[in-house]
Structure 1
Amino acid sequence: MADFKDPENGIIIELKDGNVKIDLLPDVAPKHVERMKELARAGKYDGVVFHRVIDGFMAQTGDVANGNKNDSSFNIRMAGTGGSDLGNVPAEFSKVPHARGSIGAARSQNPDSANSQFFINFNDNAFLNGQYTVYGQVIEGMEHVDAITRGEPPAEPDMMISVKVAADV
């Protein structure tokens, strides 16, 4: 069982097949780390679907405005178009590579448009290096990420059942 470097900067995502543990990188991308922890502690990620899952590439989630499967207004076609009611987070590009299991900030064409959405890389995706903020790394449970249903959007999308800061568990 993997241990977090620092439970205050660790995330546990509960998926249908098991938990995924992520070490966040506050020394690399402090604003993105703080945003993820803020949304996790507020329960905003609970029930949010993986709305864009591309085999051999990545699984994207985190649309807290439109992607909550537990919400009566949920519409998978809208998932991926929104964020949180908090402001956008400016890019925090680094030399950390988009390796298998790394967590990247999803954004529009504007580098400073990241908000709540993120993706988990299935493979090493070096073409993203220096263009998207990396702010975490899966340390356990990557097999559960690999099992997420594929699609853009998936017909029956998987969701994050719960997302917690490890220090709070």
Structure 2
Amino acid sequence: MRLKFSQFLIAFLMISTLMLGGCSTGQVASTSSPTSVATSPASETSTNQTTEATSVSETTNESVPGMTDLPRLEGKATVVITVKGSPITVEVDGTNAPITAGNFVDLVQKGVYDGLAFHRVVRDPQPFVVQGGDPQSKDPKFPVARLGTGSYTDPKTGRERYIPLEIKPKGAATPEYNKPFDATARPVELAHKLGAVAMARSQQPDSASSQFYFALADLPFLDGSYAVFGNVTQGFDVVNKIQQGDRIDSAKVTQGAENLKTPGQ
């Protein structure tokens, strides 16, 4: 369906802000910028960075460069995120986004999200996203203007973890990696529908780490550029009440934990 000019303009401005937010740490939009779904850029030395899209017939970690050390979800899982005492139930889809879903479930299992704040909430000029998951937000004294630049650091290695952009075209046997594509020509299996849960990233495709967002409306202009990995099945009314600065009480895997496969298993 064609967008009206006003809708197209808003979409263009949102995408422009996304790209600006990812150019460099100094250019990341502050939390006062209403339309950024971007995190800090990935390290230039990250082993997850590749320059060409990869389509594989078998999406094993060994099939795609840079993924041998990443967890994966083989199937689905249920995660309950509690905010201000109220639960949000998320179905995490490892069937269509095994690496993105595996990364999220692994971080939930590690307790990474407990106590983190939602640093960006955008409802005007139209519903957009609620974004959180920056590990820096656990420190209440961390400057609000700098939230949105943090990534998960593995305490065992001291290294930041980044995951490849992972999007599965509709009808495809496996996801494609490392490069955005035009979803108007090639629709995706996991679309930015109302209640979708996806990973935030910078301009670098393979720079997602721990930050995620809830889609507050259908956002088709993000399809093909950002990786959706699940959707809210219950508690979207709780999502709609989240304000900037609200914190995650806890995030727990309630079903499907056995589907998480970590390196070495």
CA–CA separation in structure 1 for the residues paired with 2:212 and 2:121: 12
Greater share of helix: 2
Q: How does 1:106-125 map to 2 (within 5 A)?
A: 106-125=200-219
2:76/2:94 contact within 8 Å kept: no
For the pair 1:144 / 2:238, whether they are aligned, the reply is yes
Of the three residues 84, 87, 106, the one matched with 2:161 is: 87
Q: 1:67 offset after TM fit, Å? A: 1.2
CA–CA separation in structure 1 for the residues paired with 2:217 and 2:140: 34
Q: 1:78 offset after TM fit, Å? A: 2.5
* 1:161 aligned partner: 249
For the pair 1:133 / 2:227, whether they are aligned, the reply is yes
* 1:36 aligned partner: 104
Give the SS at the match of 1:166: strand
Structure 1: gaps (5+ residues): 1-6
Select the structure of larger CA radius of gyration.
2
Give the SS at the match of 1:24: strand
Alignment RMSD, CA only?
1.8
CA–CA separation in structure 2 for the residues paired with 1:8 and 1:125: 23
Of the three residues 56, 61, 81, the one matched with 1:13 is: 81
Structure 2: gaps (5+ residues): 1-74, 154-159, 169-187, 258-265
Of the three residues 119, 134, 148, the one matched with 1:63 is: 134
1:8/1:166 contact within 8 Å kept: no
* 1:51 aligned partner: 119
Q: 1:17 offset after TM fit, Å? A: 5.2
Aligned residues: 154
Of the three residues 23, 26, 32, the one matched with 2:94 is: 26
What letter is aligned with 1:84? Y
What CA deviation, in whole Å up to 9, does each residue of 1:30-78 have, x standing for no partner?
A: 11111111111111100100001100001000112x111xx36433222
Task: Name which structure has the greater RCO, CA cutoff 8 Å, separation 6+.
Answer: 1
Greater share of strand: 1
